[in-house]
Chains A and B, each alone.
Chain A
Amino acid sequence: MQKLDWSLIFTSIPKLLSRIHITFLIVIVATVCGIIIGLVMALFRVYKVPVLRQIAVVYASFIRGTPIIVQLFLIYYGLPVFFNWIFGVDIGRLNKMYFILVTYSLSMGAFFSEIMRSTIEGVGTGQSEAAYSIGMTKLQTFRRIVLPQAALAAVPSLSTSFVSLLQNTSLGYTIGIIDVIGRARTIINISKHTIEPYTAAAIIFVFLSIVFQYVFSFLEKRLSKGRGAVA
């Protein structure tokens, strides 16, 4: 049996880090798109928009109820079929990265819609009533009073979904993305050592998760600084 080569862990790390920008790209694009999708979906549900609300519910349920790997391949195989059918365009040769970005944005969007829905509903009716009583429109009430409070309350949960998104990016290699994991597998193929490159990848992921968690808790403190206790 092969002996563990500890030094391989350390020599792998810089090689893996050379692909970290892929991970960052996925995480950032998916978070931004996810927040937009999630907010819109949450609004459909909070304000009970007919039809769209039901679509939002089914969408969130599907994402919550299926493994992300299944979602990834559904998008990867399904999106070209769909585009071909609707627009008659062949997107099968598109950069694989786009499929990854669509999948993770949709996934993040579903989780974020659940988070935002509960934080929006968590802003008491007294806040809206006070806004209405001074003559604000529904839109003004939402934008100026409800949304800022809901967004602040969403930060801790956003942090959790963000970290799980970070980890889910590790599945990108299955459709051929060379991110940290993809690079680890090329090292494995060359060195014939399995455990060490994976361990190196794990170290990178752990480090990133911890850093991101700190960033979010700093952000939360910063945003609520001096604003009194969360009511």
Chain B
Amino acid sequence: MGGVKVHNIHKTFGKNKVLHGIDLDVEHGDVVAVIGPSGSGKTTLLRCINFLEHADKGLITVGEQTVNTEKASKKEILALRRKTAMVFQLYNLFNKKTALENVTEGLIAVQKVSKKEAEAKARELLDSVGLQSKYGAYGSQLSGGQQQRVAIARAMALDPEVILFDEPTSALDPELVGEVLSVMRRLAKGGQTMIVVTHEMSFAYEIANKVVFIDQGLIVEEGDPRDVFLTPKDERTKQFLARFNLSSQYSI
């Protein structure tokens, strides 16, 4: 057992209803790509899962723990957050901390691992994302792609049930997108459960085993990437995907 279950999530900002009852099932080891036009609510959905946004209504299950968002206690929220990790669009590396410190921070402060052990693990992780020479670098001394790889290492360090990716490459210069995607690809192959909000359609097609298309706060279509990308059923999905011209790339 494991994975993530989202049931009937509603979220309103002021007068603006963003999520109208979303259900999502993510099995342990799944890689789910969430796609959709801007303003469709996909980022909000992601942020509701770890309570960066507090959903108005609905159930969220991560691993064995289920939280009713209507009466979630601080303790429950914290426990849920400790089963998840997030990679942000703008990296959000901790300022004034080195790459290594960014990765050890959660291990030391949250998991109470000794500093020595934490550093050993952090080095290993930074090596695995190709940053073996950047342990002591501060965020401002790293390129966007390098910062995002540190952020991924920071998320991996906590061995979370699921890593939530919020448009991890959309703030990057085009030539830096590849290095981040290849780290994510390896992570996916390694069996890490991932939910990825993304605009990289070909990447979603390649690594996801499930694609979810959201529009106007509702899941319009979901399923195997092959089905969704190549033979979309809903008109909105067709229109959205037409812009990316995916079928021509993959239907050979």
Which A positions have Cβ atoms within 8 angstroms of B? 123, 126-127, 129-137, 140, 144-145, 148-149, 152, 224, 226-231
Are B92 and A231 interface neighbours, CB within 8 A?
Answer: no
Are B95 and A133 interface neighbours, CB within 8 A?
Answer: no
**Minimum CB–CB distance for B164 against chain A, Å:** 8
Most buried by A among B84, B95, B140: B95
Are A132 and B139 interface neighbours, CB within 8 A?
Answer: no
Q: Please name the residue on chain B nearest to A223 by beta carbon.
A: B96
- Can you pick out 15 interface pairs between chain A and chain B where the beta carbons lie within 8 Å of each other? A126-B90, A126-B92, A127-B95, A130-B86, A130-B88, A130-B93, A133-B84, A133-B85, A134-B158, A144-B109, A145-B94, A149-B95, A226-B138, A227-B138, A228-B140
Chain B residues with CB below 8 A from A134, complex form: 81, 85, 105-106, 110, 154-155, 158
Contact A152 to B81, CB < 8 A, known contacts A126-B88, A135-B106, A227-B138: no
Among candidates B84, B96, B106, B140, residue contacting A152 with C-beta atoms closer than 8 Å: B96
Are B109 and A136 interface neighbours, CB within 8 A?
Answer: yes
**Minimum CB–CB distance for B63 against chain A, Å:** 13
Most buried by B among A126, A133, A224: A133
Are A132 and B81 interface neighbours, CB within 8 A?
Answer: yes
Which B positions have Cβ atoms within 8 angstroms of A? 50-52, 78, 81-82, 84-86, 88, 90, 92-96, 105-106, 109-110, 138-141, 151, 154-155, 158, 164
**Minimum CB–CB distance for A179 against chain B, Å:** 38
Chain A residues with CB below 8 A from B164, complex form: 133
Chain B residues with CB below 8 A from A228, complex form: 95-96, 138-141
* Dominant secondary structure at the B interface: mixed
Q: Please name the residue on chain A nearest to B83 by beta carbon.
A: A135
Known: A135-B106, A228-B141; 4 extra A-B contacts, CB below 8 A, are A129-B52, A130-B151, A131-B94, A133-B81
Are B140 and A229 interface neighbours, CB within 8 A?
Answer: yes
Are B94 and A127 interface neighbours, CB within 8 A?
Answer: yes
CA distance A123 to B95 in the complex (A): 9
**Minimum CB–CB distance for A30 against chain B, Å:** 28
Chain B residues with CB below 8 A from A137, complex form: 78
Are B86 and A231 interface neighbours, CB within 8 A?
Answer: no
CA distance A123 to B155 in the complex (A): 21
Contact A132 to B109, CB < 8 A, known contacts A149-B95, A229-B140, A231-B139: no
Are B110 and A135 interface neighbours, CB within 8 A?
Answer: yes
**Minimum CB–CB distance for A104 against chain B, Å:** 31
Are A227 and B106 interface neighbours, CB within 8 A?
Answer: no
Are A231 and B109 interface neighbours, CB within 8 A?
Answer: no
Chain B residues with CB below 8 A from A231, complex form: 95, 139-140
**Minimum CB–CB distance for B159 against chain A, Å:** 11
Chain B residues with CB below 8 A from A227, complex form: 95-96, 138
Contact A135 to B139, CB < 8 A, known contacts A127-B94, A129-B88: no
Are A133 and B50 interface neighbours, CB within 8 A?
Answer: yes
Contact A144 to B105, CB < 8 A, known contacts A130-B94, A228-B139: yes
Are B109 and A127 interface neighbours, CB within 8 A?
Answer: no
Are A136 and B110 interface neighbours, CB within 8 A?
Answer: yes
Chain A residues with CB below 8 A from B81, complex form: 132-135
Q: Please name the residue on chain A nearest to B141 by beta carbon.
A: A228
Are B140 and A135 interface neighbours, CB within 8 A?
Answer: no
**Minimum CB–CB distance for B168 against chain A, Å:** 13
Most buried by B among A132, A135, A140, A229: A135
Among candidates A127, A133, A152, A230, residue contacting B52 with C-beta atoms closer than 8 Å: A133
Chain A residues with CB below 8 A from B140, complex form: 228-229, 231
Most buried by A among B52, B92, B138: B92
Chain A residues with CB below 8 A from B138, complex form: 226-228
**Minimum CB–CB distance for A228 against chain B, Å:** 3
Most buried by B among A129, A145, A228, A230: A228
